[in-house]
Amino acid sequence: MKILSVTSEIYPLIKTGGLADVTGSLPKALSPLGIETTSLIPGYPRVMRQLQQTTPLLEFDDLLGERATLLHAQVEGLDLLVLDAPALYDRSGGPYVDGDGKDHPDNWKRFAVLSLAAAEIAGGALPGWLPDLVHTHDWQSAMTSVYMREAGCMTPVVITIHNIAFQGQYPAGLLRHLGLPPEAYSMDRLEYFGDISFLKGGLQTADVITTVSPTYAREILTPRFGMGLNGVLNERVEVLRGIVNGIDMDVWDPTIDDFLPQTFDIANLRRKRENRKPLLERFGLDEDDGGPIFSAVSRLTWQKGIDMLADTADEVIHNGGRIIIVGQGDHAIEQALLQTAARYPGRMAVHIGYDEPTAHLVQGGSDSIVQPSRFEPCGLTQLYALRYGCVPVVSRTGGLSETIIDANDAAMSARVATGFQFHPVTTNGLRLALRRALHAYEQPKMWARLQNQGMKTKFSWERSAQQYAAVYRSLAHKASSPQTGLRRLKFW
Ligand code: ADP
Ligand code: GLC
């Protein structure tokens, strides 16, 4: 079965968060199941620089008025179609924001064009290659199925919601620039509280909607977590599924991780402790006195609740712990964290930035990873934490609630506990969870048991890839033969 995956990020080429980890690792997990994935991605400068050999396949001379070349490339086992459209993608900054952290003003066009190119490919633009199914991810590629259906292309589409907070919401006036007829501005397509929403369009036109954990699949049906789209999702609940993310066991493997000063495994946790010194030095913290190191590697946005960690820093530090935070995002949150760290020199460090090797070092040397998210579709850092012998402290929401087993008495005696959960998701809730973790750390046997149980947990892609494969196969009966009579969309 041939899948066209359409995504705005893919590890190892371009990453701002877990979306890239998933789109980069799922194809490898699907391959042994007979599913070949080709991923369509934008040709950002960072992507173009990393491509060794490319083959031009197609010239688009009018994608919403833009020219683009479609290139084929292979990178670390990923089969890629790269949309090289310099006017849209060749610029400084990240995939979504400029150097000052502001959204690129033409994001609507950048991702509508990506989606349109995908729809063209699904409709047969590439001679000799036609996907059996298209898999889109989040709002950035959600318009793919809108364009496909508009052109009469009925190839099955699966859309995965990684985070419903990002919806691609724009003024209705943009509609005609999207090359869509006025009818597309309707309740069952793009209309969204007087605006248009790319994500809504995708949810309305895909055959199956998945999200990245069963708990989040239930949560987004409610007003609190659905963020305006709960009505649409309730109408389509029959086709909504939750499939928990897996992790790339090769990229996140403490036994061979090149970013760690000392590799280790479950049988040799003593070696993990050798990463403490380099970690503390890297962050300019006081010399090791054996106290617990609580860390976070996270986007710094309201979602992630790292502000609550800053508000509870006194709990950790007055009890002999240290705090390390690595992340970037919201300027106000960054500043508040830096100010808190300044109050605890030698005990708390905040590093604003995005840096993959540091993320690995933090997992390798810390005792605990704290993820106090206000909502969390799945979350991957807590899964990496389990594999790296860190004991996670997490809020009970979304994927965090089902991937971490709270260390209550029952779970401890059943030897299944892997971390600490708290609810309600408040500063006080987090404070109590940190207190429990600090108390457990004082009991080396208990802590070692938690580490062991966590490291034994299986979060490889195996099971989840089978679930995706089952979803794909359930749709395979739908047409995928070259579709005749497709309307060429007219773009201006
Ligand atoms: P989200 O996708 O919501 O940001 P996830 O937990 O699913 O959350 O994935 C986050 C991914 O991004 C992980 O791979 C994590 O290591 C990485 N990450 C987040 N912030 C940073 C950072 N500042 N530096 C390096 N890696 C980061
Ligand atoms: C999103 C979510 C995160 C999830 C990731 C990958 O960014 O915030 O919870 O793990 O996507 O699916």
- What the block records as the tokens of 349 is 């460090």
Helix (H, G, I), strand (E, B) or coil at 128: coil
- The domain locations on the chain are 2-246+462-478, 266-456
Q: What is the pLDDT of residues 227-274, one digit of tens each?
A: 999 999 999 999 999 999 999 999 999 999 999 999 999 999 999 999
* Pocket perturbation via mutation, ligand 2, pick of 10, 11, 19 by most ligand atoms within 8 A of CB: 19
The mean pLDDT of 172-200, rounded to a whole number, is 96
pLDDT at position 341 over 80 = yes
Residue bearing the CA closest to ligand 1, atom 9 = 18
The mean pLDDT of 131-153, rounded to a whole number, is 98
Residue bearing the CA closest to ligand 2, atom 3 = 379
For 2-246+462-478, CATH number? 3.40.50.2000
pLDDT of residue 81: 98
The mean pLDDT of 45-51, rounded to a whole number, is 97
Say yes or no: do domains 2-246+462-478 and 266-456 share a fold.
yes
Q: How far apart are CA 260 and CA 276, in angstroms?
A: 10
Express as a percent the part of the chain with pLDDT over 90: 95
pLDDT of residue 100: 86
CA 129 – ligand 1 centroid, Å: 34
Give the pLDDT band (50/70/90) at residue 491.
very low
pLDDT of residue 490: 41
pLDDT at position 478 over 90 = no
Give the pLDDT band (50/70/90) at residue 477.
confident
Q: How far is CA 437 from CA 288, 326, 441, 442, 477, in A?
A: 19, 21, 6, 9, 51
pLDDT of residue 473: 97
399 lines ligand 1 (CB under 6 A): no
pLDDT of residue 437: 98
pLDDT of residue 3: 98
Task: Select 266-456's CATH number: 3.40.50.1100, 3.40.50.2000, 3.40.430.10, 2.60.40.290.
Answer: 3.40.50.2000
pLDDT at position 483 over 90 = no
Q: How far apart are CA 369 and CA 479, in angstroms?
A: 46
Pocket of ligand 2 (CB under 6 A): 17-19, 22, 162-163, 212, 245, 376-380, 399
Q: What is the pLDDT of residues 54-104, one digit of tens each?
A: 999 999 999 999 999 999 999 999 999 999 999 999 999 999 999 888 999
